Amino acid sequence: MGTNKLSINNSNSILLIAPCGMNCTLCYAYQRIKNNCPGCRIDDECKSFSCVNCKIKNCASFRDENKSFCYECESFPCKRLKQLDKRYRTKYNMRMIENLEYIKKNGLKKFIINENKRWACRICGENICVHKGSCLNCCN
């Protein structure tokens, strides 16, 4: 199994941070071995219905206006993002809006370093799965 870490030296890491501030490497759909998702920004037909039809990913701001993250939008934080943020805060202890504000203020590189530290499994060092609340790599 490959690493779930975001790479600081690889410009492709932006492909694994969704417009909403989600770190794809923590996602169960990304980490699972079978039918795994390559990441929000990577087009792939094997993605789940809910990912392909995500209203944030399909928002006109990204499709037509060439924006990269929700914080670049004049409606930030919009109702959709607030709902997502609330769901993730409550269920998974992850904060999309806070992530986005951090990226805006400190840049993607710092965010990536922080994320890899914050979510590292204490046993094997891989990023834990935010949806399961545990490490899928070593089952801790």
| Interface with Zn ion, residue 138, by CB under 5 A | yes
| Interface with Zn ion, residue 31, by CB under 5 A | no
Among 12, 124, 132, 133, binds Zn ion (CB under 5 A): 124
| Interface with Zn ion, residue 129, by CB under 5 A | no
Per-residue buried b or exposed e for 37-71, using 16+ beta carbons within 10 Å of the residue's own CB: bebbbeeeeebeeebeebebbebebbeeeebebbb
Q: What is the CA radius of gyration of the chain?
A: 14
Task: Confirm if 68 and 56 have CB atoms less than 8 A apart.
Answer: no
Q: Taking the complex as a whole, how short is the minimal distance between the CB of residue 75 and Zn ion, in angstroms?
A: 38
Among 17, 121, 129, 130, binds Zn ion (CB under 5 A): 121
Q: Taking the complex as a whole, how short is the minimal distance between the CB of residue 8 and Zn ion, in angstroms?
A: 21
**Whether the bond into 19 is cis, omega within 30 of 0:** no
Q: Taking the complex as a whole, how short is the minimal distance between the CB of residue 42 and Zn ion, in angstroms?
A: 25
